[in-house]
A and B are shown apart, each in its own frame.
Chain A
Amino acid sequence: MSLIFTTIIVPAEHAETARTLAAAVSPAGIGMFTTALCTGETLTHYVSTGKIDSAFGAVLSSVEIAMAAALAGDPEYAGTTEQLTALLAAVDVSDEPPFDAFDRLGLTLTNPNEEPL
């Protein structure tokens, strides 16, 4: 297993497509894209960042690879080519530290606004 560091940011409207794709490709993809990001006060994106299998990382390189990987991991994967095409056109994939990527895209974490108690 070869690991790579990656930061993946998806617009909120494509987050569910990204979640189902990640979950289909690998059990280790279940639970991705749950951290919300804001543009100003508005929730606009979700992020996952960390070390992932390099094969998993290649999934977002093309619609064909994404679909093949999803169906290999879950034969009942129901995502469409149109959904994956839209996702890959909008997703931001980099090897930047997450907060650098947030700065580049003008995004902030939402959690600093949360009151713990």
Chain B
Amino acid sequence: MSTTTRTPSSRARTALRWGPLGLATLLVCGGGLALLSAGAGVDDDRAQVAALVSAREDDAVAAEQEFADTWTSVHDAVSPVPAEREAADSEAGAWLLAMLSEGQDSASALSTEHGVDEMSATLLIAAFTGHGGSLESFTAVGTTPEDAIAVDEALSYSAAFTVGTDAGLLTYTTDEDSRITAATVTWSDGAPERS
């Protein structure tokens, strides 16, 4: 029977042999842990940020709505035409022009969509011959009744607009449902004067 006795020098040799390997293994484990740690919670962090953004956006929408409501309240207190009617009438005019500028060529379709009588629709379509492109700008200004308008009151508007590089003036009338009942288009002759 033989007995192996480790001498201090053999322990040192063993330590020198396995020490770096152990250290390296520890380092690899540490790196792995660091990588795991860096990757962990990413989704949670994103969800938290998304929740914060969403909450702030909700606050922004609420603030903008409060501004719009306050503006509407002041506007409607002094203007004879409610802001809602103005917006609907303006939208109708812009939509009519957008349809025409995109090459709407059916008077009956225009009549169905907008309530424009077929004669006016035919004239409008003819007026747009040679004027194509997208509707670039549209600003409608309504005639102002002396008193607050009645529910069924018609309103007239003049709207300066730009289609492509061409400019024109659309004059139109709307009924109580913001349907266009009459409209004419006049095109501009050459470049405008600007101040």
The answer to whether A and B belong to the same complex is: no
